[in-house]
Amino acid sequence: MKTGGSHPRYRLDEVIHAPVRLSIMSALAAADRVDFRFLRELVEVSDSLLSKHMTLLEDAGYVEVIKGYQGKRPRTWFTLTDAGRAAFGAYLAALHEIVGTGASQA
């Protein structure tokens, strides 16, 4: 029986390879920073679910949370860290190997 490890699917980062987190990472990779509200509407999840996934990505060191104010209103931005961009790049490379061409660099 062939053991796992050499096939590119084994290089698909499980932190990223989940529907909601993949959408989040794709969005953040395509921008410098994205605000909470836009991201929530883009990914079509609830506030609490988005927060849960962002916490997981932040704990993995992939995402940085930037809190600030717009006037008196609190505003939360998300941006990919260098580690997050590297991890997403590696994920894309593995994905390209699996599907041939397909996903373009976000």
Residue 65 makes contact with another protein by CB under 8 A: no
Length of the chain: 106
Distance CA 13, CA 89 (A): 11
Q: Which of 11, 17, 64, 90 is in the footprint of another protein by CB under 8 A?
A: 17
**Residue with structure tokens 């997050």?**
84
| Binding residues among 87-106 for another protein as defined by CB under 8 A | 92, 95, 98-99, 102-104, 106
Distance CA 29, CA 27 (A): 5
Q: Which of 3, 4, 43, 63 is in the footprint of another protein by CB under 8 A?
A: 43
Residue 27 makes contact with another protein by CB under 8 A: yes
Query: 84 is written with which tokens?
Result: 């997050």
Q: Which of 1, 2, 6, 46 is in the footprint of another protein by CB under 8 A?
A: 46
